[in-house]
Amino acid sequence: MRRPAWRLIALVAAATALIAGQVAIGSAQAEQTVNVNPTGAPTDSNEFPFGRGDVWPQMGFVYKNVPAFNLKTGDTVAFDLGAQNNVDIQLQIDMAATTVNGGDVPGAYTTVVNNSQVPLNPTGNTVMGDYELQFTAQAAFGFPGGGLIIRFSNPGGAFASDLQEDSTLVNDTTDTDPSGFFVKRFFNDPDGLPPYSNTDTQGLAGFRLTLKDIVPPTPPGSSTGHKRKCKKKHKKHSASAAKKRCKKKRR
């Protein structure tokens, strides 16, 4: 027996919607980690920028060859410390792409962490490689890849008057590190913009970004969409009657 043409069309449409939904679900981006790590032996640990709060107003690290990423609100920006600080570390953290990969001139800065935030593991620890000092991004930052500057300023809380050199970086290096990520740092700078008052090529910090899953939108024609429509259309009827009507409609 031949099926009516309209039934064949309906079956093809349903199959197409199912495939589209499976593709959308399969394309959900898993959690992504961006590691900018030294591959050579760590250099002597330095208190910049997490060991004391009185050495400001501006300090930053300049990187190159960093892969592209999209930092979202709620993602993690982490650093690895080799000693604990005596008070919670609170800093404003800004990010900017450089105008040239390997250069030190930033484009527009985005403040991704405010100085009122107390990060996870706010005084650090002595474990190497765990990237325990974890700040939560409070603004989105899209990075196209290449040169990057992470700038620190405006210490908050008790950290603003912290005079002790306690906490130090452990995953730090120089500009000759084989990874090819590291350029320089600037410090004790009045505005955090070039030309910088003080720069050198040692004590350069590695960092880690943890970018959360991206949940795809609900595919068209999913069961969730049917339920929402049925509830809205039959809200005046009893729950059992509405349920029966919805079942009939989906057949």
Average pLDDT, the chain: 81
Structure pTM? Answer: 0.75
Low-confidence winner among 29-33, 87-91, 161-165, 188-192 (lowest mean pLDDT): 29-33
User: For 201-227, how does the pLDDT look when each residue is reduced to its tens digit (9 = 90+)?
Assistant: 999 999 999 999 765 555 555 544 444
CA dihedral 180→132→189→69, nearest 10 degrees, is 50
Residues 174 and 36: their CA atoms lie apart, in Å, by 13
pLDDT > 80? residue 26: no
Tell me which H or E stretch contains 142: strand 141-143
DSSP string, 158-188: GGGG-------BSSEE-TT-TTS-EEEEEEE
First-to-last alpha carbon distance for the chain, in angstroms, is 21
Cβ-based neighbours of 187, under 8 Å, separated by 6 or more: 48, 49, 55, 58, 59, 60, 198, 199
Per-residue model confidence (pLDDT) at position 224: 47
Q: What is the distance of C-alpha 99 from the center of its chain?
A: 21
Please tell me the predicted confidence (pLDDT) of residue 128.
87
Q: How far apart are CA 140 and CA 95, in angstroms?
A: 10
DSSP reduced 3-state for 227: helix
Q: 103: how many CB neighbours lie within 10 A of its CB?
A: 15
CB 135 within 8 A of CB 119: yes
DSSP H or E stretch at residue 233: helix 223-233
What is the reported pLDDT for 234?
Answer: 45
What is the number of helices (H) and of strands (E) in the chain? Answer: 3, 14
Q: For residue 134, name the pLDDT band (cuts at 50, 70, 90).
A: very high
Cα(133)–Cα(130) distance, integer angstroms: 9
Ordered by start, the domain boundaries in the chain are 32-211, 217-251
pLDDT at residue 12, rounded to an integer: 44
pLDDT over 60 at 148, yes or no: yes
User: Which one is predicted more confidently, 227 or 144?
Assistant: 144
